[in-house]
Structure 1
Amino acid sequence: MRDNLYFIRRNGKCGYVNRQGDIVVDPVYSDATGFADGLGCVQDGMDLHILNVNGKVEATIENASIFGHSFSEGYLCVDRNDKLGFVDEHGNVVIDFEFQRAADVVQGMAIVQLSDDRYGLISTMGDWVFEPQYNYITEYWPDSKLTAVVVDDYRWSLRPLDGSDRLQREFASTHQEREGLLPVCPEQDGKWGWVDTRCTDVVSEQFDGTGTAFFDGTIAVVTDNRWGVSDTRGNLLVQQKYNFTGNLHFGRRRFYEGAAKPGTLVGGKYGFLDAAGEIAIPARFDGALDFVGDAAMVTVGQRRDAKLGWINENGEFFWNPNR
């Protein structure tokens, strides 16, 4: 992973710090992207500035705004006149501004939505991999072979990312294929299990819900509002005792405990489990995002009083929310 900077907000303005907690880009901008692939982007009036890890401006994009994305594979989704398009790391437009919605570039392609609400999959060369004909397309991962598409009757089926025809089996709902497995719910309001890339059942429906995808052979699972972690065969690795368990990223998995009511994420705190399911960082944060490398963004405080910080893999702040 390339070196990154870390987004901060102070007095309503955005900037970046490095891994040592030193301010590299002063928080003077109205908005900023997350830093990824060694690049970030800040909003400066009506223009965007692409920054490198030294905080230097690499390129400027005029008359554009940030749309909640980050660089991915050297491309960034931005907004111009209420339409989305993609620029490269030099600020050059590579996919024109014509979409209502768009996901980040993955495997050289991006999921986009046209003005008629139809979704397609477009390459960074501007070619359609999937013609825009679907009600929705599920986001996928760098190692995914399939994605899920919603057909006209609002049933989900799977389609290979190489552009070949979709598979015939359909589901009431799905998540994301990764590591050759895909969580699925065959019937409306039914239970969840998972299938392989040939749509063959691997684990029959037995959970009330699952995490979005498999990570290192594990997935979060929920039954009766209690979350735990399963292996690829449906065996529990972490007992279902939390209000929430997330995906495993860089050896850390978010969990939530102490919720005021079952099925909610209110009144409790976030912490992190390690890859074995043991508590690595106790639950003490009001908000938390997944680890990216050896750092995770967390918040302390509620709503308008929430303050943003960054922690390392041991839960130690290198940017304290109270600075």
Structure 2
Amino acid sequence: MSLFMRQKASLMESRECDLVKITHAMDTWINQENMFGTQLDKYRIMKRSLIYLSALFLVFASSCDIVDNITGGGDNNDDVVVKLYPVLVDGEWGYINNQGAMVIEPTLQNAYPFSDGLAVVRESWGWKYMDKNGDFIIEGDFQDIQPFYDGKAAVRVNGRWGYINKKGNFIINPRFRESNPFSDGRAFVRSLDYSEYLYINEDGDKIESVNMPEDLDNIDENEFSNGRALVRDDELFGYIDRSGSTVVDLKYSEALPFSDNLAAVRVSDRWGFIDAGGSVVISPQYISAGRFGNGLAPARRNSNQFGFIDRSGNFAITEQFEEVRPFTEERAPILENGKWTFIDLSGNKITEAKFDEVDAFYNGLARVVIYVTVDEEVTEQYGYINKSGDYVWFPTN
């Protein structure tokens, strides 16, 4: 199935750029007039008031940069970090910046975080890749698509998964029944005839080794990290390297992927940590344990509550939380009295526990969820907080 590329006309791009600038002008005007309220209120006011600012087009038009024509997806830097975040407004998705200003108008059916400079979105019930300007860079008759990682993305056409580059060209033709994103130059896939799970390299070739497990099982976390991938065969877990060689024997009843060059493994009924060579670094002593992040890992030794241990196995943050998740960007989600919040590396809460669900921090913000009951029906409202715990976007739906 062929892919096709397109870019919006220059006139439309100019208008969109002008609209963003006018939106910022309206935001400034609202603040000057002390019209306080949620971002959603301000956004709706801006939309109603744009007619009064039409003259500003003449001012801003000359300063608006027009995006170069894109052929085949354009020149996207794999390492680019786009600090835009999906938000839901009146049932449609758009994107805000890290200050909470609307940058891409909410017109999408679905929207996901940016990865490798592009975002997976759904518009007019078709899956597409969008850039930071709101332009659809890659389109096609996709049944499903995945985010870009390492400059490659998995897409499904005619029931088969393959991989494309940022020009929208297939670099691995669709021939897999299931697929996962590339990491460390490897991807975990399932053969078209369902007969096996396997790892492939960036050319689509199967990774094989003389001591690689014969029959790999599908597991929830099979991506490479720190040069190792978690594998399972006959209900036992171990690790392979990028060549497919088994570097840690399949002998653990449970195990987690490597993170910060350590991996949690279970021996009998206790969890400990090993290094990339399989040597025990922290002896098995915990009832539960999680991944390391920012030098700390969730753990529970002899308590019903969780804390965080350091790389020596000592509790840096005492066992005191109902539930926890790993640190990212020096913040970790913790559950307290049935509500979520975040703590810093010292164990201090950045805000009171008041969220019904939270996502990990990425690029300085974390998405939070509030459950709201309207006419006896529970709905989810999505917002964003910064690392100080302040809202940059109040929850909306």
Structure 1 and Structure 2 fold alike (TM over 0.5): yes
The aligned residue for residue 295 of structure 1 is 365
Matched residues, percent identical? Answer: 24
2:393 aligned partner: 319
**CA–CA distance in 2 between the matches of 1:18 and 1:66?**
27
1:208-244 alpha-carbon deviations (Å, 9 max, x no partner): 2111x21232111124431110111211111111111
Question: What CA deviation, in whole Å up to 9, does each residue of 1:57-105 have, x standing for no partner?
Answer: 2222x111445x4222222233323433322222222233333433322
Looking at structure 1, the residues matched to 97 and 284 of structure 2 have their Cα atoms a distance apart, in angstroms, of 45
Residue 25 of structure 1 is aligned with which of 104, 108, 111?
104
Query: For residue 293 of structure 1, what is the amino acid of its counterpart?
Result: N
Match of 1:218 among 283, 296, 300: 296
Change (3 A) 1:20 1:65: farther
Partner of 2:227: 145
Rounded to whole Å, the distance in 2 between the matches of 1:198 and 1:101 is 30
Match of residue 118 from structure 1: 196
2:118 and 2:89 mapped to 1: Cα distance? 21
Query: Among 178, 190, 202, which residue is 2:259 paired with?
Result: 178
The question of 1:55 aligning with 2:134 is answered yes
Note the C-alpha offset of 1:28: 2.3
Partner of 2:22: none
Change (3 A) 1:110 1:252: same
Q: TM-score, normalised by structure 1?
A: 0.86
Q: Which has the higher mean CA deviation after the structures are superposed, 127-136 or 20-29?
A: 127-136
Equivalent AA in structure 2 for residue 154 of structure 1: E
Q: How does 1:129-168 map to 2 (within 5 A)?
A: 129-130=207-208, 133-136=215-218, 138-140=221-223, 142=225, 144-151=226-233, 153-168=234-249
Q: 1:97 to 1:117 in 2, by over 3 A?
A: same
Give the deviation of 1:296 after TM superposition.
0.8
Segment drifting more, 78-87 vs 242-251: 78-87
Q: Which runs of 5+ in 2 are unaligned?
A: 1-79
User: Is the 2:238–2:246 Cα contact (8 Å) retained in structure 1?
Assistant: no
TM-score, with length taken from structure 2:
0.71
Q: Is the CA contact 2:247–2:277 (under 8 Å) kept in the aligned structure 1?
A: no
Runs of at least 4 residues off by over 6 Å: none
Q: CA RMSD in A?
A: 2.4
User: After superposition, where does 1:34-45 map in structure 2 within 5 Å?
Assistant: 34-45=113-124
Match of 2:45 in 1: none
Instruction: Tell me the SS of whatever aligns to 2:188.
Output: strand
Question: Which residue of structure 2 lines up, in the alignment, with residue 273 of structure 1?
Answer: 343
CA distance in 2 between counterparts of 1:314 and 1:117 reads 50
Per-residue CA shift, 1:118-175, capped at 9, x if unaligned? 3221122212225883013543455x12222111x21112211233344335110100
2: CA distance, partners of 1:71 / 1:304 = 33
Distance 1:306 1:198 in 2: 44
Instruction: Check conservation: 2:83, 2:363, Cα contact below 8 A.
Output: no
Cα deviation for residue 117 of structure 1 reads: 6.1
User: Matched residues in 1 for 2:370 and 2:223: separation?
Assistant: 31
**Cα 1:210–1:118 shift into 2, 3 Å:** farther
Whether the 8 Å contact between 1:140 and 1:177 is mirrored in structure 2 is no
Task: For 1:100 and 1:65, locate their aligned partners in 2 and report how far apart those are by CA, in whole Å.
Answer: 13
Q: Secondary structure at the match of 1:21?
A: coil
Richer in helix (by share): 2
Separation in structure 2 between the aligned mates of residue 180 and residue 232 of structure 1, nearest angstrom:
10
Q: Which residue of 2 aligns with 1:309?
A: 383
Partner of 1:196: 275
Which string of whole-angstrom CA distances, capped at 9 and with x for unpartnered residues, describes residues 232-288 of structure 1?
121111111111111111111111111xxxxxxxxx111111122222233111110
Q: Which structure's residues are more often strand, by fraction?
A: 1
Partner in structure 1 of residue 67 of structure 2: none
Tell me, which stretches of 5 or more residues in structure 1 are unaligned?
Answer: 259-267
Distance 2:125 2:173 in 1: 18
Give the 5 Å matches for 1:4-23.
4-23=83-102
Aligned residues: 307
Secondary structure in 2 aligned to 1:133?
Answer: coil
Equivalent residue for 2:52? none
1:50 touches 1:91 (CA, 8 Å); kept in 2?
A: no
For 1:322 and 1:169, the matched residues in 2 are separated by 47
Give the conservation status (yes or no) of the 8 Å contact 1:218–1:229: yes
